[in-house]
Amino acid sequence: MAAAAAGLSWRRVSSFTGPVPRSRHGHRAVAIRELVIIFGGGNEGIADELHVYNTATNQWFLPAVRGDIPPGCAAHGFVCDGTRILVFGGMVEYGRYSNDLYELQASRWLWKKVKPQAPSTGSPPCPRLGHSFSLYGNKCYLFGGLANESEDSNNNVPRYLNDFYELELQHGSGVVGWSIPVTKGILPSPRESHTAIVYCRKDLGVPKMYIFGGMCGCRLNDLWELDIETMTWSRPETKGTVPLPRSLHTANVIGNKMYVFGGWVPQSAGGEISTHDGEWKCTGSFAYLNLDTTEWIGLISDCQEDKSNLLPGPRAGHCAVAVGTRLYIWSGRDGYRKAWNNQVCCKDLWYLDTEKPPAPSQVQLIRATTNSFQVKWDEVPTVEGYLLQLHADSPVPSAAGTPGTGVPETSVLSSQGGSSLHQSSQSLPSVPCPEMKVDHPSQANNVIPNNVQLSLSSNSLLKIEGKEKVAASENKITQETMKNHADATAFKESNAPSLLPVCTSSPQTSANVGELHDLDKRTVIPDASVSSTVSSTQTMVTQQAVKTESSSTNGAVVKDETSLTTFNSKSEAAETAYFMPSTKVNTGQANDSHSSRTPQRQMAPVKSRERQWYDVGIFKNSSAVVSQFYLLPEETLNASNKMEDADVPDYRLLKKQDLFPGTVYRFRVAAINGCGVGPFSKVSEFKTCIPGFPGAPSTVKITKSVDCIHLSWEPPASPSGNILEYSAYLAIRSTQLQENPNQLVFMRIYCGLKTSCVVTAAQLANAHVDYTSRPAIVFRISAKNERGYGPATQVRWLQDMKTSSSK
């Protein structure tokens, strides 16, 4: 079917930055989170550099690799296992092939040549190119390729292979060795430049490898299946129209589909397809195989290739890689050339969203005031925006509201000594919060400005028209610092991001109060308003934010020094309504900090028909400051909920409603990509603050000494009176943590008027190491005025593996 009929929405990337690699073919690519890593290939010589493209920032960079750097190669095997990449074989120069194996630790950009043991029966794989190299579990599967029978590289005597090897990997780094599995059934015929993917059905759980196409004197379009558990080869029966015979194509699995793009295909002549000695051409055809039903679905055929620049042009020897549900295609040969040294290569980069994005994580609170929230949610890969909605417990008028009252106060994340910080807010039971006034610099505008239109076309294609206005300050992405900063220099150079995951705090919220009798009257406090992540090897800085009060009906006040507050992470089930936006307008400012996961307290179930959701706006990034929401026309309120693809009024024509103090609001968020709006997240619940209590202490620093650490902080920006004392707490080991890891137990380690304290080695020896993400020791600091204690600032002190294992 045609591209439009198939609902395809290819996008050509044009606004990237950084050193763009020269065009080529025979290269390979893998994805690690949002990074596309490309190695090898040839065009006027074989490329030996490693290129990385950040799909989130549209930036190319050249990491500073070190170690046993491999020579350039083309048509090699290239697989990714976590943050480690394996390279096997390929052509290192014309007529000379390799059977070397290299490992790249992408967390440090460190190359290492590895020497696997030879198989107990038979010889190790011979030098080759055009083979397939597929990963499943802790094993790589090598099949086929092309070998040179001649010892003289200038006298190429090709031999097509159909040998099959298994390479066992060690955990994290290194390999065990090659083996030659005993297989059943008939082996696929010898071939090179084919594709191989591994797929495991969710309902059956049986991993299978699929080999498609390739070259063996003529191009092939046969499909082979290997049951990896039983090592049985078979030829599955397929439905639909099988793609033309091809080689040098790509195949990628997204969901339950194997997407096949491009390659060399027969040149039709007078309606007849030439075969062995005929002419061949590059193709831009595109199809997928439903791996559950083994049905081929054609998306773009050869006759539907167009020259309108709406689709990727014909090519072979390109690379394709899946980042989430998005398929990226880069470079490759774009025409028929017989001579190796007479190539014409594409320079373009394309992507296709293959399905709607998944639901984001729950909305998390960074900070609350009396009339605003600063919220965030985990980023969803390869999306173009987020639709944020709220629901208020109190009645909301249908078409009345007040104009905007300006940008609410926000806190700003800062760092010192090169360490990365991580910030979030969590619920404090039944303690009203003061309104904070924090000075802050200008921030990147997260919302599409008024002069920018965001629309969904008839095939749910997201379009952004006009020029975006971004504030002068840079939009920062906070990540944990790596264990060894010397090893992390490759990520620091060229503005390359760390591959390590962003740290999140333990999922906790107020639920109930129990008694703790064995801590010598040491106070255990509720959740913090802010969580910061810092490295154990450096001084740490954080900026506090105000927490929100949990619903008073389910909160608890810490009344004495023996009380223990426990927290659960139950939340309401995800909503299923869909919402299709038509325009974007400016609704607020963005925050540049990343917060920890903050699931909210258990909420009473509310039926969808009893709840009306209001749009906060559509945001480019995964954070927002919420002080208003859009009111809906009266006729819209009569509907039970918004349905998918429903028409949405122009936001600029809608009135706004301000948030009220002391009011509970529920939030949900959905991601948007080229296929439309995805499902909504689970619902989170926050309450705006009540004035009078002190804010959370700010700018927390931890300085490590030989036998202790020094913990210091600054007073709250909004004390709401005189500060009578501060309390600092340390998360400690407890039997309750074994029963429920989501319930942290805190011991008070300091109480006084000073804004600093010393944490001794004896106290640290009793610390609980939180493994929610990276190992960390958790501190909390809170201030008290005449009305009582305000929200606490939480700091996660990152530990290296040696430190954490000794705790």
Could you tell me which residue, 590 or 271, shows the higher pLDDT? Answer: 271
How high is the pLDDT of residue 409?
A: 25
* Range 309-334 average pLDDT: 94
- How many Å apart are CA 622 and CA 385, to the nearest integer? 8
Could you tell me which residue, 246 or 500, shows the higher pLDDT? Answer: 246
Counting every residue written for the chain, the total comes to 807
Q: Which long-range contacts (CB under 8 A, 24 or more apart) does 511-515 make?
A: 511/554, 511/566, 511/567, 511/568, 511/570, 511/601, 511/602, 512/556, 512/565, 512/566, 513/429, 513/556, 513/558, 513/563, 513/564, 513/565, 513/566, 514/563, 514/564, 514/565, 514/566, 515/562, 515/563, 515/564
How high is the pLDDT of residue 530?
A: 44
Give me the torsion for CA of 127, 133, 135, 140, rounded to 10°: -30
How high is the pLDDT of residue 742?
A: 61
Q: Please return the burial class of 474, using the count of CB atoms within 10 Å of its CB with bins 0-12, 13-18 and 19+.
A: exposed
User: What pLDDT, in 10s, does the model give residues 538-581?
Assistant: 333 333 322 222 222 222 222 222 222 222 222 222 222 222 33
Task: Count other Cβ atoms within 10 Å, centred on residue 238.
Answer: 14
DSSP state of 432: -
The candidate with the shortest Cα–Cα distance to 52, out of 323, 317, 381, is 323
Query: Are the beta carbons of 354 and 597 closer than 8 angstroms?
Result: no
User: Pairing state of beta strands 528-534 and 788-798?
Assistant: parallel
Nearest 5°: the CA angle 272, 277, 282 is 70
Confidence of residue 488 (pLDDT cuts 50, 70, 90): very low
Q: Where is average pLDDT lowest: 517-526, 542-551, 584-593, 677-686?
A: 542-551
How high is the pLDDT of residue 204?
A: 80
Structure tokens at 239: 């439905």
Confidence of residue 159 (pLDDT cuts 50, 70, 90): very high
Q: Where is average pLDDT lowest: 33-37, 107-111, 477-481?
A: 477-481
How high is the pLDDT of residue 65?
A: 97
Q: Where is average pLDDT lowest: 162-171, 197-206, 635-644, 767-776?
A: 635-644
- How many Å apart are CA 264 and CA 280, to the nearest integer? 6
How high is the pLDDT of residue 610?
A: 52
How high is the pLDDT of residue 564?
A: 26
Could you tell me which residue, 378 or 104, shows the higher pLDDT? Answer: 104
- How many Å apart are CA 528 and CA 782, to the nearest integer? 8
Residue 175 clears pLDDT 60, i.e. is over it: yes
Confidence of residue 634 (pLDDT cuts 50, 70, 90): low
User: What pLDDT, in 10s, does the model give residues 698-710?
Assistant: 888 999 988 899 9
Query: Are the beta carbons of 198 and 140 closer than 8 angstroms?
Result: no
Half-sphere exposure in the Cβ direction for 691 (13 Å, CA): 9
Confidence of residue 308 (pLDDT cuts 50, 70, 90): low
- How many Å apart are CA 33 and CA 55, to the nearest integer? 9
User: What pLDDT, in 10s, does the model give residues 512-546?
Assistant: 222 222 223 333 343 444 444 444 333 333 333 22
Instruction: Give one DSSP letter per residue of 254-312, joined into a string.
Output: ETTEEEEE--EEE-EETTEEP-TTS-EEEB--EEEEETTTTEEEEEE-GGG--SSSSSP
Structure tokens at 400: 């009345």
Q: Per the confidence metrics, is the pTM higher than 0.75?
A: no
Residue 741 clears pLDDT 90, i.e. is over it: no
The candidate with the shortest Cα–Cα distance to 299, out of 586, 16, 31, 7, is 7
How high is the pLDDT of residue 649?
A: 57
The candidate with the shortest Cα–Cα distance to 315, out of 374, 415, 246, 416, is 246
The candidate with the shortest Cα–Cα distance to 131, out of 96, 99, 84, is 99
User: What's phi and psi for 303, nearest 5 deg?
Assistant: -75, -15
Task: Count other Cβ atoms within 10 Å, centred on residue 144.
Answer: 27
Q: Which residues pair with 391 in a beta bridge?
A: 666
Q: Which residues pair with 712 in a beta bridge?
A: 701, 756
User: Pairing state of beta strands 77-81 and 84-93?
Assistant: antiparallel
Q: Where is average pLDDT lowest: 110-119, 145-154, 287-296?
A: 145-154
Task: Count other Cβ atoms within 10 Å, centred on residue 742.
Answer: 15
Contacts of 261 by beta carbon, 8 Å cutoff, 6+ apart: 249, 250, 284, 285, 286, 312, 318, 320, 327, 329
- How many Å apart are CA 699 and CA 164, to the nearest integer? 59
Residue 499 clears pLDDT 50, i.e. is over it: no
Q: Work out the mean pLDDT of the chain and round it to a whole number.
A: 73
Confidence of residue 636 (pLDDT cuts 50, 70, 90): low
How high is the pLDDT of residue 317?
A: 97
Could you tell me which residue, 110 or 778, shows the higher pLDDT? Answer: 110
- How many Å apart are CA 62 and CA 53, to the nearest integer? 9
User: What pLDDT, in 10s, does the model give residues 467-480?
Assistant: 333 233 333 322 23
Placement of tokens 């936006």 in the chain: 581
Could you tell me which residue, 643 or 292, shows the higher pLDDT? Answer: 292
The candidate with the shortest Cα–Cα distance to 133, out of 95, 172, 175, is 175
Task: Count other Cβ atoms within 10 Å, centred on residue 17.
Answer: 12
Could you tell me which residue, 804 or 257, shows the higher pLDDT? Answer: 257
How high is the pLDDT of residue 305?
A: 59
Contacts of 702 by beta carbon, 8 Å cutoff, 6+ apart: 534, 539, 540, 709, 710, 711, 779, 795, 797
The amino acid occupying position 164 is F
Q: Where is average pLDDT lowest: 64-68, 246-250, 340-344?
A: 340-344
Query: Are the beta carbons of 265 and 302 closer than 8 angstroms?
Result: yes
Q: Where is average pLDDT lowest: 14-23, 320-329, 517-526, 785-794?
A: 517-526
Give me the torsion for CA of 321, 113, 104, 211, rounded to 10°: 20
Give me the torsion for CA of 640, 641, 645, 648, rounded to 10°: 100
Coil, strand, or helix at residue 714? strand
How high is the pLDDT of residue 525?
A: 40
Type and span of the H or E element at 764: helix 761-765
How high is the pLDDT of residue 242?
A: 97
User: What pLDDT, in 10s, does the model give residues 48-86?
Assistant: 999 999 999 999 999 999 999 999 999 999 999 999 999
Coil, strand, or helix at residue 366? strand
* Range 128-140 average pLDDT: 97
Query: Are the beta carbons of 55 and 104 closer than 8 angstroms?
Result: no
User: What pLDDT, in 10s, does the model give residues 418-435?
Assistant: 222 233 333 333 333 333
The amino acid occupying position 359 is A
How high is the pLDDT of residue 342?
A: 57
Confidence of residue 491 (pLDDT cuts 50, 70, 90): very low
Residue 139 clears pLDDT 80, i.e. is over it: yes
Query: Are the beta carbons of 692 and 752 closer than 8 angstroms?
Result: no
Tally of helices (H runs) and strands (E runs) in the chain: 5, 52
Query: Are the beta carbons of 435 and 549 closer than 8 angstroms?
Result: no
User: What pLDDT, in 10s, does the model give residues 596-633?
Assistant: 333 333 333 434 445 689 999 999 999 999 999 999 77
* Range 174-179 average pLDDT: 97
Residue 456 clears pLDDT 80, i.e. is over it: no
- Domains (range + CATH), the chain: 364-393+612-638+651-688 (2.60.40.10), 701-798 (2.60.40.10)
- How many Å apart are CA 606 and CA 679, to the nearest integer? 18
Q: Which residues pair with 414 in a beta bridge?
A: none
Half-sphere exposure in the Cβ direction for 370 (13 Å, CA): 10
User: What pLDDT, in 10s, does the model give residues 754-802?
Assistant: 999 999 999 999 999 988 667 889 999 989 999 888 877 878 898 875 5
Type and span of the H or E element at 765: helix 761-765
Q: Where is average pLDDT lowest: 81-95, 232-246, 447-461, 525-539?
A: 447-461
The candidate with the shortest Cα–Cα distance to 579, out of 485, 658, 651, 507, is 651
* Range 700-721 average pLDDT: 90
How high is the pLDDT of residue 262?
A: 96
- How many Å apart are CA 680 and CA 382, to the nearest integer? 16
* Range 454-482 average pLDDT: 31
User: What's phi and psi for 637, nearest 5 deg?
Assistant: -65, -25
